Amino acid sequence: MSVPKPLLAALQGQSIRPTPLWLMRQAGRYLPEYRQLRERAGGFLDLCLTPDLAAEATLQPIRRFGFDGAILFSDILIIAKALGRALVFRDGDGPSLPPLAAVDGLAMQPDASVLAPVYAAVRKVKASLSTVTTLLGFAGGPWTVAAYVIDGSGRTQFTKARALASENPAALEAIITRLSDATAAHLIAQLDAGADAVQIFDSWAGLLPPEQFRRFVIAPTQRIVAAIHARHPRAPIIGFPRNAGALYEAYFVETGVNALCIDQNVPLTQAHALQARGPVQGNLDPTVLVAGGAALDRAVADILATLGQRPFVFNLGHGILPETPLAHVERLVRLVRGGP
């Protein structure tokens, strides 16, 4: 019997062959059709918040490569905008916001009019997606979103947010709690609109020492997971506490996420051990995909040989890089699907 949605089945704990595949940031500047759409939209935020355009960006990599998962085209900082932070994206410079000092700089509730186009985009994608492709929603982990919101950009290595974690942890916790409530509601609304599963991107989790990691990453994620599962008990949640190293296992066990996404710094022996706890997703180095050739062939073979027997989803260890050649992505898809 063929599996209707191979990626969804893998996230629910089945061992699926060939291994399901999608790539973080699979809609993006490495695609000529994305660059064209981006030009047409004007700004990056216009692209995110215009349902027709966001749906089109979501579908572009599916049409070209036939990935098993379509991830909603949006951004983790849209939730900050909905909570009243003035968010801008400058070309080639990433996100920028006025730095936040305390929780009273965040609205109590997200502005529904900011988020409505996101859910409209989910419904549009769902309506035009084939029945075998899994639709993924997402949000940022509250620590990572807090880090951008407090520092105002990623340029400062989040020194203000990290200092707040030591100097006034209660103030950081208040910010993270408000972001967590908004994030849980945002993910539930994406599932209500038709997403099959969701991923929580905690890209900067690895900056925190263990005790702070437990308080500002594991504890709030556990609450988000519980809130989602109360409404959508069967919807898989993928957690990605990037660069968590030795703390990945505690995160996997204690948060209750259904699947764990790992970065490329996780040794395959550790990744294999983590599969005892549930499905794992990852972890090809994005620079190896840029390099291609024998290095790519070898890295893909190693990952599949070590992780491919148990519940597994092939992905990168972080987002695809803009300079990635299309031919290397095509080769990757053939390798994972078991072609020559």
* Binding residues among 279-338 for ligand CP3 as defined by CB under 6 A: 319
Burial class (CB in 10 A: 0-12, 13-18, 19+), 272: middle
In the set 19, 26, 134, 324, which binds ligand CP3 (CB under 6 A)?
Answer: 26
Minimal distance, residue 212 CB to ligand CP3, in Å: 19
Chain center to CA of 56 = 19
Q: How many residues bind ligand CP3 (CB under 6 A)?
A: 22
- Distance from C-alpha of 277 to C-alpha of 236, rounded to nearest angstrom: 14
Q: Does 22 bind ligand CP3 (CB under 6 A)?
A: no
17 is an active site residue = no
Amino acid sitting at position 201: F
Instruction: Kindly state whether residue 137 participates in binding ligand CP3, applying the rule CB under 6 A.
Output: no
Query: CB–CB of 243/265 below 8 Å?
Result: yes
- Work out whether strand 237-241 and strand 197-202 pair parallel, antiparallel, or are unpaired: parallel
Return the amino acid letter for 199.
Q
Q: How many CA atoms lie within 13 A of 207 on its CB side?
A: 19
| Beta carbon of residue 202, minimum distance to ligand CP3 (angstroms, whole number) | 8
205 binds ligand CP3 (CB under 6 A): no
Q: Is the Cα dihedral 166, 170, 176, 180 positive or negative?
A: positive
- Among positions 143-202, residues that touch ligand CP3 (CB under 6 A) are 154, 201
User: 25, 123, 214, 215: which one is catalytic?
Assistant: 25
Which residue in 148, 196, 263, 331 is the catalytic one? Answer: 148
Instruction: Identify which of residues 123 and 310 has a Cβ nearer to ligand CP3 in the complex.
Output: 123
Q: What is the contact surface with ligand CP3 in residues (CB under 6 A)?
A: 24-29, 38, 44, 71, 73-77, 89, 94-95, 138, 154, 201, 203, 319
Catalytic residue ranges: 25, 29, 38, 75, 148
